[in-house]
């Protein structure tokens, strides 16, 4: 359920990861400064490689969409500034 909430919030191309146990939601956006990993959530906009599987996640859009505001909100929720 927690992952589906992210998929629905970002509403962009989503695919099943190579392991079959995770998802990649691909968007056009720039990440704010700060952390990139917390628990089972990772967010990157540069400096990383990953395998694109093409295994579309059912129900998700088939196009990569612009999601700057949504990425900023998600980043703030999962990676709050130090001291919060």
**Residue-wise pLDDT tens digits, 2-41:** 999 999 999 999 999 999 999 999 999 999 999 999 999 9
37-83 pLDDT per residue, tens: 999 999 999 999 989 999 999 999 999 999 999 999 999 999 988 75
Kindly state the DSSP code that residue 80 receives in the 8-state scheme.
Answer: P
**Do the beta carbons of residue 34 and residue 81 sit within 8 Å?**
yes
Q: Which bin fits 5, alpha (ψ -120 to 50), beta or left (φ > 0)?
A: alpha
pTM value is: 0.89
Neighbouring C-alpha atoms within 13 Å toward the C-beta of 35: 13
């Amino acid at each position: 359920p927690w992952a589906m909430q992210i998929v629905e919030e970002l509403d962009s191309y989503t695919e099943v990861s190579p392991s079959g146990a995770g998802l990649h939601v691909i968007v056009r956006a720039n990440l704010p400064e700060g952390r990139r990993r917390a628990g089972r959530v990772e967010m990157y906009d540069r400096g990383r490689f990953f395998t694109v599987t093409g295994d579309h996640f059912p129900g998700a859009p088939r196009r990569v969409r612009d999601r700057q505001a949504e990425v900023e909100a998600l980043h703030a929720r999962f990676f709050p500034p130090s001291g919060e």
